[in-house]
Amino acid sequence: MDINEALFIYINQHLQNPTLDMIMSGITDLGGFIILILAVFALLIFAHLTKRRTLKRVAIIALVALLLSDLIAVFLKNYVHEPRPFMALKNVHLIIAENDPNSFPSGHATSTLAVVSVFLLNMDDLVKKYHVVIDIALLVFAVIIMFSRVYCGVHYPFDVLAGALIGISGALIVNYFKDNIFTILRL
């Protein structure tokens, strides 16, 4: 048994309890692509209606980072074809349904870290007061989403780590080119 499998078994089987089952099964989908793209679009609409130019620009960068990162993750999922833990191991405590048979990398970790990273990179421009509290809240959210994917039985820890690295990398790349993107979009 390798460390990835051992960590999975520890989190998935030894930390299980009914309260966490309920919490994690409800939270895990908040890190999905569809939920996050809807959240970013809601922020874009809010920013447009309230004439918050900085928020609009950051939301656009978050959208681009989300799309770029998830494109990479989907490519890797279809290239690597690593079966999900519940398909490869016995006695997995599966608490959510998952239709996609491919585990590596975690799309939820990719999506979550792409969006969260963009906001963390630009928080000083968005919020002058309490930005540290918001930064911590965003980081806690990301960690909970990543933990939930292993806890729920649908990803190995390294799947989540790889997804996180893809999301962070996508955010860093897009953030680096944000001025070019703003010029192209005339923002």
**pLDDT recorded at residue 1:** 61
The residue among 5, 30, 1 whose CA lies nearest residue 143 is 30
Q: Fill in the amino acid letter for 171.
A: A
**pLDDT recorded at residue 128:** 81
**pLDDT recorded at residue 106:** 97
DSSP state of 127: -
Q: Fill in the amino acid letter for 110.
A: T
**pLDDT recorded at residue 131:** 87
- For residues 105 and 158, the answer to whether their CB atoms sit within 8 Å is no
- For residues 121 and 65, the answer to whether their CB atoms sit within 8 Å is no
- For residues 118 and 65, the answer to whether their CB atoms sit within 8 Å is yes
pLDDT per residue rounded down to tens, the chain (187 residues): 699 999 999 999 999 899 999 999 999 999 999 999 999 999 999 999 999 999 999 999 999 999 999 999 999 999 999 999 999 999 899 999 888 999 999 999 999 999 999 999 999 888 888 889 999 999 999 999 999 999 999 999 999 999 999 999 999 999 999 999 988 988 8
